[in-house]
């Protein structure tokens, strides 16, 4: 059942914050890896692709922060995440952290960003 922060139990609010933190960790880790890829790019085209990923992931991370601000202000209506949802967000974060910042892994890093955002966006109505 969708709720605002003030309607949540302490456990539900804690689950939300845990899912938020795991999502931000995923995005921040991916940003670091995209920046490394851009710095080490073998061609200008690859550098542009990696820099575009930096810009898009930065934009997406800011949207996640805005959703958290709305949650804190009690203006967001969310589906309180359950334990398994929190664990999925944590696992995605761990998975993104394990991927090496190598050109061959760019798609896997990008997929981790997509997975993190998909899970977090399921929480928001």
- Which pLDDT tens digit goes with each residue over 61-78? 999 999 999 999 999 999
54, two tokens: 């930096």
* Alpha carbons 12 and 4: distance in angstroms, whole number: 11
Domain boundaries, the chain: 5-123
Strand partners, 3: 78
pLDDT tens-digit series, residues 26-56? 999 999 999 999 999 999 999 999 999 999 9
Burial 30-58 (b: 16+ CB within 10 A, else e): bbebbbebbeebeeeeeeebbbebbeebe
This prediction's pTM: 0.96
């Amino acid at each position: 059942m969708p709720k605002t922060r003030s309607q949540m139990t302490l456990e539900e609010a804690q689950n939300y914050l845990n899912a938020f933190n795991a999502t931000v960790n995923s995005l921040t880790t991916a940003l670091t890896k995209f920046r490394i890829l851009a710095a080490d790019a073998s061609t200008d085209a690859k550098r542009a692709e990696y820099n575009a990923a930096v810009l898009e992931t930065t934009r997406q991370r800011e949207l996640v922060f805005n959703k958290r601000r709305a949650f804190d202000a009690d203006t967001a209506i969310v589906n309180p995440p359950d334990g398994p949802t929190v664990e999925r967000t944590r696992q995605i974060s761990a998975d993104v952290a394990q991927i090496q910042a190598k050109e061959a892994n760019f798609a896997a890093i990008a997929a981790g960003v997509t997975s993190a955002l998909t899970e977090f966006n399921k929480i928001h109505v």
